[in-house]
Structure 1
Amino acid sequence: MADMSASASLALTHLVPLAKEFDEDKVTPGVLGFIVFAALALAVWGLMKSMNRHMGRVNFAEADDQQPDAVTPDTGKSTA
């Protein structure tokens, strides 16, 4: 167990100097990333609102058959 913590601390000491070399503007998404994310969020919201409106217009009740199945004419053709 002590070996694992020593190797972890050794790895962190090697990675800390590398982290200082990164430019923060290149690592973060910035304003452009926020604008793209906000546009995608608005598009999904609009699509969900449209879908909800269209689903409200759908008639889920089944139409009643006017003729029973036994009265249908026989054409003499095989369905098999």
Structure 2
Amino acid sequence: MPSMSAHLALTQLVPFAAEELDKNKVTPGVLGFVVFAVLAGSVWLLMKSMNRHMGRVSFEEAPDPSAAPDTQAATPGK
């Protein structure tokens, strides 16, 4: 019965954890640091990839038709 021995081990460790717990000091711990580091690394990689992809974009804007002079109105007879 592996689950029974694991249960006994956990019940024996709980009092030790309760004695070491300081209720006035709460920290994120190692898991919080690892999660933050993974998020920061992924954001950095996404920004690097975005800058690379934006550098490859060649975009030429079409002239604004309202700003250009109307050539059809300037030539009478057409």
Instruction: Normalising by structure 2, report the TM-score.
Output: 0.46
Instruction: Normalising by structure 1, report the TM-score.
Output: 0.45
